[in-house]
Amino acid sequence: MSRRGGHLWIFLATPLLARECRVYIHDLALRLGVPVKGAGLADGIEVFPKHDAIGPGDFGNAIRGPLGIHRGANRRFWFYGADYTLEAQIEYLNALKKVTEEELRRFIAGKELPQAELPTRPAASVAMARRNGNGRSEVRILDHVGRVRKVGRNYVTRCPACADSGHDRSGDNLAILIEDPRFYKCWAGCTRDMIRAALGHPVRGRHSA
């Protein structure tokens, strides 16, 4: 359960590669006809982990573990299928079948992530700078987003497009490269056009950003 519906957890027998797990989840969603948020879609399920790998000094996404107390709601969100006590829930989870490495490899044999879901670094994603006659950026994203904090090489903050859809309550979907804030990326998959439109500065023309 969750405040916005539900979370589907897939448990593994041993730690496995994030990329292979992501391939499995994306393929499963495709076969079930479930949309995955991102790749131009503002709505759909969110897949965690969101990254295939984490670079030195970088951080992944914060995820509330099973049966943890949600700080905002100040309560636990239970799994369906067992009584709502910690003992019953732990017993239920321990009894669940776990995906083994052999099974995972068999499930994803010959499959890859959708092209639009291939990971990119914020520095290689979206540039936001159109120069006017005075050589200044007409739109600078740091002037239009809320409070930011530093995480590794990036500023992170709430994605305006996610916020318009009632998402990104943790306020960390948008990563902005510290050394060059013209480059930014929404880890939930919002596009440049969606972010700029949410800021009230829609993209105009081929060379604008």
Q: Looking at residue 33, what is its pLDDT?
A: 86
Domain assignments of the chain as residue spans, ordered by start = 18-117, 122-198
Report the C-alpha gap between 121 and 168 in whole angstroms.
19
pTM > 0.95:
no
Report the C-alpha gap between 186 and 165 in whole angstroms.
14
Q: Average pLDDT by consecutive 10-residue portion of the chain (209 residues)?
A: 81 93 90 76 76 77 78 86 95 95 94 64 42 53 82 84 80 84 85 85 58
Length of the chain: 209
> Per-residue b/e over 116-154, b at no fewer than 16 CB within 10 Å?
ebeeeebbeebebbbeeeeeebebebeeebeebeeeebb
Which has the closest alpha carbon to 159: 44, 52, 51, 42? 42
Residue 39's Cβ-count burial label (10 Å; 0-12, 13-18, 19+) is: middle
Q: Looking at residue 38, what is its pLDDT?
A: 64
